[in-house]
Structures are given as C-alpha cells and as structure tokens.
Structure 1
C-alpha cells in the first residue's frame, strides 16, 4: 500500500512539473507575440491610423477603410482598441509585404470631452504599434473629435516616435462647435486663416505654429457645407474647420483644403461620403 502511494505521489509531482513548464512556455510565447513582430523591411511599413469622433467608434471608419482596400492600397485592416485607462489591445496583424496596412482605432471612452486625453490615447496607440512593429512612419485620418486626438498628439513630445507623413482632417472643429462656442456665419478668418476670436482649445493649439514638424507632413483638410446658408456642416462652421490652416500651413510640407457640398456633407455623414472616399484614395494611394 505504501509503495503504491509513493508511486502515485511521484506521478502527480512529475505531472505538476510538466504542466508548469508547459504553462510557462505558452505564457512566454504569448508575451513575445504581443510585444514584437519580426517583419523584414520594417522601415517600409507605413500604416494609416483612423481616429473616430466623439461618441462614436471604429464603425465610423469602416467605409473609408474599405474604400482604400478596394482601391488597392492594402489588404490589411486591423484594430487597436484603447480602454479609458489607455491600455491598447490589437486585433489582427500586419502582413509581410503589405506595406500600407490600415489600423482602425477604437476609443472605448469616446464620450470623454477632454481633447488632451484623446491625444494621450492616440500616443498610446502609436507607442504600442512602434513596440510591436518597429514603425518609422505612419499616416493619420481623423473625423470630428478624432482630429483633436491628432492635434493634441502632435502637441506632445513625439521626437522619439514614428513620424507622421500624411494627415487627413475631416470635419475638424479646431476653433469651436456650433451651438456651444460658435454660431453660423459669426466666425471671421483673416487672409492667413487666423480667427478673430479664439476658443480655449485653439489657443492651446497655437503652440503648433512653433512645434509642428517642419516640412514633414502633407496635410489634407476636408470640410462640409450643407449649402443651406449656414456655411457649415450643421455642427461645425467652415471657418472653424479652415482655421487649421493658421496652425500648420507655415510648417507643413504642403497644405490643401477641399470642401464637400450638399446634404451628404452633413457632419456625421462625411465619414460615409463617396466624395471623401475618393479624396482619401487620391491622397493616400
């Protein structure tokens, strides 16, 4: 009886050790895959990150992302989900030789109204991708509050992070929102795009006139006009969107604006607008 007991005890001991080793090996493999990916020619990869608007999600980015896939820019769409605490989890992965993947960024706390926090989340996303894929450069597309994520990201010290090559701003409320701190046809811009009246966030963004990367970023600013006399997309005046020019044009590699006109130029429809898709294809492909 004692001998059988000893044999059973040894068997359970060896089994426990074996399972522990197997578990540690599996954990080590998972950890490695989550932190780094060995892709040849890492410097060739130039992903495009999409940032959605306030109260929205990655679903607002779907049509634009798929239009780029259909145009032949990439075959890869992956997602970066950012918790309210800034933890980033990635779903999907870059594919070898597919140098222009799309990353749909999904902010879970999308009703947070602090633009600086959105900038921190954008930075957390970029840092995570840099650690995993050793990125050197990337592009950004923002809609509505997603533009503030980009702008406040740029306000941060990004010298050690991958470089933005192309920046697309869609329906940006850089100097106010209608009904909150702006009204139709009230905002005036001078010949340089400088607003006569500046909101608090815009005053903060003025730092970019000195720190925006010099001759590095090609900028496309897209805004909507419902053509109803308000000179707005229904939520943001054209002047507020166009005030981006004063912030970045003197330092950008190039800066251009495109106005979308008509009912489908309404603020929340711009990310599902075929004309916007075509502009993105021409600009990014």
Structure 2
C-alpha cells in the first residue's frame, strides 16, 4: 500500500471515529430549550419492535434533540446473552439523556423483558440513576410491560416515571388468535376476548405501581380501526391493565397515512405528542 493510500485510510478512520463519537456522545449543536422543557437528569429509554433495531427509534430521538430537549443520546446494544454494551457516554448532569436500546435478538418476544432489565441494571450500575422513563413501539411495548411484570415492585431498581406505549398489542394480535371482532369496554378498557398474551399481562393490574407512573398510549387508526397490523381494540386494552393504578392515563389516536403501524415512529405528530408528554413544562 502506498504512503498516500495509508494516509488516506488513516484520515478516514479518524473521521469515522470522530463522527461516531459526536453522534453517540453527543455534543449536539444547538441549545437546550430551558423555557419549554424540564431540566431533568432522568434518562428515557427507547425500545424498538419485532425484527427491528434502534434505527426505528432515530426519528423520535432526533426530534427530541432538534426541539432542544437534550444534547445527549447514547446506544445500549444487547446481545443474545443479555450482555449490554453502551456506545457513548452520559456526562454528569446531562439534561434529559436518551438511551436508544438495540436488541441483537430482535425476533424473540419471550426474552424482551429480561433484555430490558439488563439495560436498566447496566445504566444503574454505571450512572446511579434512581428514576427513568420508557418509550416502546410495537414489540418494544412488551419490553416495558414484561419488565414491569417482574420488577415493578422492586425498590432497588430505578423507578419508572413516564411510560409511552406506541402501537402496543396488549390484547394480542389477529395472527396470534385475537378475534377481529374484539371490543373493549369504553370505561374500563377490558376486552371481550382474552388471549394468552392478555392473560399473561393481567397480573399488571396487581403489581403496577400505585400513583407513580404517567402513561401515554398512542395508537394509529390507519384503516377500519387498525394501524394495519394491530387492532385499535388491542392497543386500547392497555387501559384495563394499568389505568386504575397509574398516576395518570391518556390515549391519543393518530389518523392519516402516517398512522400505519411502522410509520408511527416516523410521524412528526407522534414526535410532538411524546416530547410534550415526557419533557414539556
């Protein structure tokens, strides 16, 4: 290899390293919007859906950075053994830091709660956080809900403050046996058809912390009461599981082309709603 080629390769390597550092470590350009958003050190964890990756979280996390919510976005990579590797660093005193969670084993609905616990424990070990927020899309919601099933009452772990569920399927999916005619009680959120998925989540009614967590449930009505993958009735059944114990519970229905299941995490309207919910004053 010529000296010129070696030099060029070296320069490119340095540039790539610098770019990665800036992206994950996060000295993002722009100022924090202290007027409109809380100045908290509580981290917010984003969980992606089935067969996906942290790339699906990028539109939402970038929106938060652009809005002046935070300058700090890092990545938590989780391998198939549940080992967590952090990319980037959260500086001491960082405002509203965000953690993009990325699962290597991204088609495994059974272990997502265990993977979420591994991320929480890693962040607690390194940074000593005592509080946190969580955002999930599709199967990412099960990361949150299964985590809570096992650890909601564990006072030795960071306490969940705000929870955003996007395109959740608490009552199950049609592909998993949910009736297309399922209905939910408008007052309680209880579905008239109980699947194995919902049955597994029912203990949340007992273990979900009392008056601790603010819950935002976002679902898309893309066509005929569905986001194209998840029935709205399934998403709205989350109410039955958590609303009685939650500090607050609210639902937001999204309509239009970007209400489609996979477009909900690419939707500026969703960005605006979750940013205001998580960090708005």
Q: Secondary structure at the match of 1:141?
A: strand
Match of 1:207 in 2: 203
Equivalent residue in structure 2 for 1:189, among 149, 161, 184 = 184
Shift of 1:180: 3.3
Alignment pair present for 1:156 and 2:138:
no
Alignment pair present for 1:248 and 2:242:
yes
CA distance in 2 between partners of 1:107 and 1:147 (Å): 14
Whether contact under 8 Å (2:74, 2:98) holds in the other structure is yes
CA distance in 2 between partners of 1:183 and 1:53 (Å): 22
Alignment pair present for 1:65 and 2:61:
yes
CA distance in 1 between partners of 2:64 and 2:209 (Å): 26
Shift of 1:62: 0.2
CA radius of gyration, larger in:
1
Q: Secondary structure at the match of 2:134?
A: strand
Shift of 1:139: 0.4
Match of 1:33 in 2: none
Match of 2:231 in 1: 237
Alignment pair present for 1:169 and 2:128:
no
Q: CA RMSD in A?
A: 1.1
Match of 2:133 in 1: 139
Segments of structure 1 that go 5 or more residues without pairing to the other structure are 1-43
Whether contact under 8 Å (2:215, 2:250) holds in the other structure is yes
Match of 1:96 in 2: 92
Alignment pair present for 1:53 and 2:49:
yes
Offset from partner CA, 1:200-241 (integer Å, 9 cap, x none): 121111111111011000000000011x3x200000000000
Alignment pair present for 1:110 and 2:106:
yes
Task: Give matches, 1:22-37, under 5 Å.
Answer: none
> TM-score, structure 2 length as denominator?
0.82
CA distance in 2 between partners of 1:69 and 1:150 (Å): 23
CA distance in 2 between partners of 1:97 and 1:81 (Å): 23
Alignment pair present for 1:80 and 2:76:
yes
Match of 1:124 in 2: 118
Offset from partner CA, 1:39-94 (integer Å, 9 cap, x none): xxxxx620000000000000000000010111111101100000011000000011
Q: Secondary structure at the match of 1:156?
A: helix
Segments of structure 2 that go 5 or more residues without pairing to the other structure are 1-39
Match of 1:36 in 2: none
Q: Which runs of 4+ in 1 moved over 6 A?
A: none
CA distance in 2 between partners of 1:149 and 1:72 (Å): 27
> TM-score, structure 1 length as denominator?
0.81
Paired residue total: 237
Shift of 1:96: 2.9
